Amino acid sequence: MKDYVGGNEREREERGGTDGADRPGILVISHGSREPGWVAQVDEAVAEARTKLPADLPVVASYLELVEGRLIQDGVRALEALGVTDIYALPLFVSSGSTHVDEIGWALGAYAEPRRETDLEPVAVSARLSYGEPIGSDPEIARALADKLAARSREPAAECVLLVGHGSDEPWFYEAWRRELEGLAAELARIGGYAGAEAALLRPDEPAARIAVLRARHPEARMLAVPVFLSEGYFTSSAVPNRLAGLDIDYAESALLPHPLVSDWIAGRVRHWLSRRMERLEV
């Protein structure tokens, strides 16, 4: 994905685009849930990220669905009401293979057409808007996964790890999920010192098939599995364990939140965007 510059771009060019009225703001977008605890964990991660950023930078957490009064359009309006002219919209999702990341990007105007049909309505945005990228294969998150596994691991050099993500049945989205989870798996093996690591999605036979690959390569290794989901819920507590049932693998159930490296990831992405924005304004 690349940054999209939209909104009142022509007006900015006419006045030079670098006057003192320009003001950046951050919109962190997550899926949403009816469970207050789920939303609270995202809010806490965003609040912690805010403490690592400039004090005068507006940061708003919004949700794709299920959180009344805090949907994406609400977040855009809140930032624009504060005088924000440049919005960085950061999707707090695991993979660019998420169909939600795609439909949100389309709704915000990041590209002309979504890759699949969506019921999401276009979001009205007057500010210039840049659409960021989800977690993907970010090393920060690989370190969070390594921390999650530390309590389960006994001797990493004699162990293999299976990362399990949600995935999609649609070809483009499936390939993006696999590519990014494999990148996380490789980084996790490197920093954790594991004998091997593989990635699987929640297709019925895929976790078993990837475990078989690991066992063929490392027949004496102990097997560990870790879910790659933002928050705990049905998938981490039921769907993934059901796929792993009977496969003789130790499962580290917890999700990425509330690990502090998630807020570090948010802050790091925002600082990178702010730096690029300043370079653009100085040209």
The answer on 151 and 58 residing in a single domain is no
225, β-bridge pairs: 162, 251
**151 with 247, same domain?**
yes
Confidence band (pLDDT; 50, 70, 90) for 13?
Answer: very low
Same domain, 101 and 75: yes
On whether both 167 and 75 belong to a single domain, the answer is no
Residue 14 has pLDDT above 50, yes or no: no
pLDDT for residue 19 is more than 50:
no
The mean pLDDT value for 89-93 works out to 98
Residues 146, 174, single domain; the answer is yes
pLDDT of residue 12: 38
Q: Are residues 15 and 50 in the same domain?
A: yes
Q: Are residues 112 and 22 in the same domain?
A: yes
3 domain residue, yes or no: no
Residue 275 lies in a domain: yes
Q: What's the CATH code of the domain at 219?
A: 3.40.50.1400
d(CA 227, CA 251): 8
Split at pLDDT 50, 70, 90, the class of 211 is very high
Look at residue 148 and tell me whether its pLDDT is greater than 70. Answer: yes
The reply to whether 109 and 192 lie within a common domain is: no
Do 32 and 71 lie in one domain? The reply is: yes
Task: Kindly report, residue by residue over 95-137, the tens digit of the pLDDT.
Answer: 999 999 999 999 999 989 999 999 999 999 999 999 999 999 9
Mean pLDDT for the stretch of residues 199-217 = 97
Residue 17 pLDDT > 50, yes or no? Answer: no
Query: Global pTM?
Result: 0.90
pLDDT in tens, 35-70: 999 999 999 999 999 999 999 999 999 999 999 999
| Domain annotation covers residue 4 | no
* Per-residue confidence band for 83, with pLDDT thresholds at 50, 70 and 90: very high
Residue in 94, 239, 93, 99 with CA at minimum distance from that of residue 168: 99
Give per-residue pLDDT as tens, 221-261.
Answer: 999 999 999 999 899 999 999 999 999 999 999 899 999 99
Three-state secondary structure along the chain? CCCCCCCCHHHHHHCCCCCCCCCEEEEEEECCCCCHHHHHHHHHHHHHHHCCCCCCCCEEEEECCCCCCCEHHHHHHHHHHCCCCEEEEEECCCCCCCHHHHHHHHHCCCCCCCCCCCCCCCCCCCCEEEECCCCCCCHHHHHHHHHHHHCCCCCHHHEEEEEEECCCCCHHHHHHHHHHHHHHHHHHHHHHCCCEEEEEECCCCHHHHHHHHHHHHCCCCEEEEEECCCCCCHHHHHHHHHHHCCCCCEECCCCCCCCHHHHHHHHHHHHHHHHHHHHHHHC
Please check whether residues 130 and 264 belong to one and the same domain.
yes
Does 2 reside within a domain? no
The better pLDDT of the pair 261, 151 is held by 261
Q: pLDDT at position 283, please?
A: 62
What is the number of other CB atoms lying within 10 angstroms of the CB of residue 137?
16
Q: Are residues 57 and 153 in the same domain?
A: no
pLDDT-derived band at 4, boundaries 50, 70, 90? very low
Range of the domain at 91: 9-134+260-282
Whether residue 130 sits in one domain with residue 13: yes
Domain count, the chain: 2
Please state, in angstroms and as integers, the Cα–Cα distance from residue 198 to each residue in 152, 162, 176, 211, following that order: 17, 5, 15, 8
- Does residue 58 form part of some domain? yes
- Distance, CA of 113 to CA of 80 (rounded, Å): 25
